[in-house]
Every structure is written in structure tokens, then in C-alpha cells.
């Protein structure tokens, strides 16, 4: 449907413009190029149907409109509090007013599930935030001081126990001899 290079440029420009409008400054070492993974999906018919379910879905699916007779619209909906299906009858004008309340203002987008706005990413951010808040800062390890000069000692090299190393060498020698 789109050239992936052009799509990547438009997406990047929209994100950066939104960040600028929000007053968020990007670091100086922010990458100029973005990696975008786009894959061909054939002629685009199936992709259009797939995206249509998410992007252009109406407030009320047609299957939930039960009848439209004598200016009265009968439809069913799920009550948000009780989660029970209910039927409602409204005159045409009231029904249209109810539907028009759900139209997004100009410039708003229905789909917000890509990149850092993806629901999984939001969950990861929440977990990271909770861990940061709930985890106390690490306590510094006590330093061991030299008995002579009273300066902090540093580990320069570790050595395997010579007895253990000798046993390992004997085992290797036996394995190669077999």
C-alpha cells in the first residue's frame, strides 16, 4: 500500500513533531535514521481488511442494529457496569446523536498501538517504574583496607585452588588417554 521508506520518514516526522509540540527535547546523540521493519503483504487486500477491523471500526457493529422501522432504531449493546447485553430503542435523531458522540476530533487517530505506544510497551514501562520505586538503592560494599598503608584493597587477579586445578588436569589426561 505504501513505500516503506516513505512510510518510515512520515512516521518519524510525525513522532518528532509531536515530541517537539509537547516540549520534549531529544538528546544530541539521537539517531538520525530509524530502522523500520515493513513486509510485503501481496496486493494489500487482506492487509486492508485486517487493518479495517482496527482503524475504521464503527462504534456499533451492524449486527447489533436489530431494526430500523418507523424512525425508531432498535439496537443491542453491552452495559459497561454490569457487562450484560441490553436492548434499547431510540428515535433516529437521538440514535445519530449517540453515535456522533464517539467520532474523534480532527487530527486524532484511532490506533495507538505501535512502538512505544503499544500496550505491551506500556506494561514494561509500568513494571520498570514499580521496580524503581519499590527497590531500595543498593548499599555500598564495605572496603577492605591494607594492614600496612590503610588504603582500599583491589582484586587484581583470582586464582583457582591449586589442588582443584591439579585434579582437573588429571581428569583431562585420563580422558585423552582413553
Residue with cell 430500523: 68
pLDDT at 41: 65
Grid coordinates standing for 107? 487530527
54, pLDDT greater than 80 = no
Cα-based distances in Å from 17 to 3, 22, 28: 21, 9, 16
Distance of alpha carbon 124 from alpha carbon 14, whole angstroms: 24
- Average pLDDT of the chain, as a whole number: 80
Question: Once rounded to an integer, what is the mean pLDDT over residues 168-176?
Answer: 80
Name which of 99, 2, 96 is nearest 41 in CA terms: 2
pTM exceeds cut of 0.85: no
pLDDT over 90, % of the chain: 15
pLDDT at 82: 92
Amino acid at each position: 500500500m505504501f513505500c516503506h521508506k516513505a512510510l518510515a520518514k512520515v512516521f518519524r516526522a510525525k513522532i518528532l513533531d509531536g515530541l517537539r509540540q509537547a516540549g520534549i527535547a531529544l538528546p544530541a546523540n539521537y539517531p538520525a535514521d530509524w530502522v523500520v521493519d515493513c513486509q510485503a503483504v501481496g496486493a494489500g487486500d487482506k492487509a486492508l481488511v485486517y487493518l479495517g477491523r482496527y482503524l475504521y471500526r464503527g462504534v456499533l457493529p451492524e449486527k447489533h442494529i436489530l431494526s430500523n422501522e418507523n424512525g425508531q432504531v432498535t439496537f443491542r449493546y453491552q452495559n459497561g457496569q454490569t457487562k450484560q447485553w441490553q436492548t434499547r430503542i431510540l428515535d433516529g435523531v437521538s440514535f445519530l446523536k449517540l453515535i456522533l458522540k464517539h467520532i474523534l476530533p480532527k487530527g486524532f487517530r484511532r490506533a495507538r498501538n505501535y512502538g512505544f505506544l503499544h500496550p505491551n510497551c506500556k506494561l514494561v514501562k509500568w513494571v520498570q517504574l514499580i521496580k524503581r520505586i519499590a527497590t531500595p538503592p543498593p548499599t555500598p560494599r564495605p572496603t577492605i583496607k591494607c594492614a600496612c598503608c590503610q588504603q582500599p584493597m583491589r582484586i587484581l587477579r583470582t586464582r583457582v585452588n591449586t589442588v582443584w586445578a591439579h585434579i582437573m588436569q588429571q581428569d583431562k589426561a585420563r580422558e585423552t588417554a582413553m
